[in-house]
Amino acid sequence: MRKRDLSGHPIASVSIPRFVLTVMSRPGLRSAALYCVRNAARDFFGVQWRERFGPRLSCVSSVDHELDQLVPFAPGYINTYMDFIPFWIRTAAWLQRHYGLAGTAETAAFVRGIADLYRYAGSVYWARLSTTRRPFYVKRPRFALIHLSDPHFACVPSLHVMIVVYTWLAFRDLVRKLGDETSLAPRVQELFRGAMAITESILYVKQHSVNCISAALYVMCTLFPDWFDQAGAEAFINQLFLTQPIPLAADAAVIRAHVLQLFRRFMAERQGHPDWRRPLLAFLASLPQRPGLRHDTERLLARVPRHGGKAPE
């Protein structure tokens, strides 16, 4: 199946522009890419900008937590934070180059999986929005871009965390299925490190709260149980901030404990409910919020389609 052996080449070294040309020339990849753009426009940007410029239809919950203050605002992490889209695109490009034409279907499926994440998260956002306090810092162009493009109403669950964790998990699952788990172990580890770094960065640039990490990992564990069971999610949580000089080790341990506790709460509340969104929406409803015209959680659950997940046994 392999066209070219890239096992020794880091995924971070792959050219994105070259992959864009490949996407344009192959219908399967082009269709998957357009599906991704459509979902992002509707279920991430659309839901937020409608609220910004339209009537206040949705309640907007404030998901800040006092532990967020243990992680200082660090503008230097902005490049890591903004890498979450190139992160998955480079992974798709690497898969396409490594497996060649015969791997086009797998690469397209990977891209469609990213697109589906926008639908899954969007089915929460359309029901109830969420935000955090973020500093108005525009000294760096990338921060200015964030403030211009992102109204900051889509915090729970964090799509940043969902996308980078999915990228790592989907890649790992694919290479296992194709019998390349051993030879591509360094690439799997590369993606794990990248997912961890980007997850940590959302707190350093103050785009999310510690609560957003718990919510995102709960969603991934619920929607992809074959890839990411509860033990796997807890192992991921227990490695947060282990290699960072700030926050201090004692503070990092407190943050991990909170993320873990809230994650376990979501998992416990999920039992017996056919709708995986219920624990998240109940959590958001319990927080301080700006009221909106639509506030009845039960009616919202029925009104907004639930994407992904199976009813628990």
pLDDT in tens, 134-154: 998 888 999 999 999 999 999
pLDDT in tens, 115-138: 999 999 999 999 899 999 999 888
pLDDT on residue 42: 95
pLDDT on residue 311: 36
Report how far residue 114's alpha carbon sits from residue 82's, in angstroms, rounded to the nearest whole number. Answer: 16
pLDDT on residue 313: 31
Mean pLDDT of 19-43: 96
Every domain of the chain and the residues it spans: 11-303
Residue 192 reports pLDDT greater than 50: yes
Task: Classify the phi-psi angles of 290: left when phi > 0, otherwise alpha if psi is within -120 to 50, otherwise beta.
Answer: beta
Q: Supply φ then ψ for residue 295, to 5 degrees.
A: -140, -10
Distances (CA, A) of 62 to 46, 67, 93, 291, 295: 20, 14, 37, 11, 15
Listed residue (269, 253, 174, 161) closest to 207, CA to CA? 161
The structure's pTM equals 0.93
Residue 92 reports pLDDT greater than 60: yes
pLDDT on residue 312: 36
- Which tokens is 182 given? 């051993």
